[in-house]
Chain A
């Protein structure tokens, strides 16, 4: 049973528009959430994170929103650029534990 779900395997967006990637989790003990980005033939790289005490965290073109009551988070990319085309993994953990649980990923294609 997946504790972190990304229900959209793929997403296509026009360059300059907003990309919204969604993630749901089932374990209410999770209190820290991360997004990683992965290009083909490379390892994932950390993109942005959010603690459960916040509902929004912004870093340049990337914003993560957290809705704890719905156990839902989303990553907004504005404006989307062709270089953003990659697989995005949502991940969740409980602070002070060593395990991080990853979702299955969403493949984003930004069309020029």
Chain B
């Protein structure tokens, strides 16, 4: 099982360039998430999607857009990259048991540097 797959693994951008980070899961999960990890800050939620066709803002949505293309795929777009968006980006997915969220499954991350 692949679980959660993120592409690319590494990317270097110049300020002002645009980029889409891809994420796909094969676990038939309804919920998908995008996080960024910065030193001393833990994982901060950028956007999430509770089901196909819905998206909601997390803690740090500014400068990002997302698309829930179908149940499997959830992409994150930087329209005009800024150095402050240099980070490691993680995609995650989770299912539900009734009203309870199951623990999230994470991809291995995309390391993004913006010069």
Contact = CB atoms under 8 A, between A and B. Distances in A.
Interface of A: 4, 6, 9, 32, 34, 36, 41-46, 49, 89, 93, 95-105
Contact of A103 (B42, B90, B104): B42
Nearest to A41: B108
A6, A89, A96, A98 interface centre (most CB from chain B within 10 Å): A98
A47 B31 CA distance: 20
Contact of A42 (B35, B42, B103, B108): B108
Contacts of B35: 102
A43 B106 contact: yes
Given A98-B31, A98-B56, A32 B43 contact: no
B45 interface: yes
B104 A46 contact: yes
Contacts, number: 57
Interface in B2-24: 4
B74 to A, nearest CB: 13
A40 to B, nearest CB: 10
B40 A46 contact: no
Interface residues of B, number: 25
Contacts of B104: 46, 100
Given A89-B42, A89-B43, A98-B48, A46 B101 contact: no
Nearest to B40: A104
Nearest to B99: A96
B50 interface: yes
B109 A99 contact: no
A46 B45 CA distance: 17
A99 B90 contact: no
B28 to A, nearest CB: 17
Nearest to A5: B42
B58 interface: yes
A41 B41 CA distance: 17
A104 B36 CA distance: 12
A32 B97 CA distance: 14
A105 B108 contact: no
Interface in B78-115: 90, 92, 99-101, 103-109
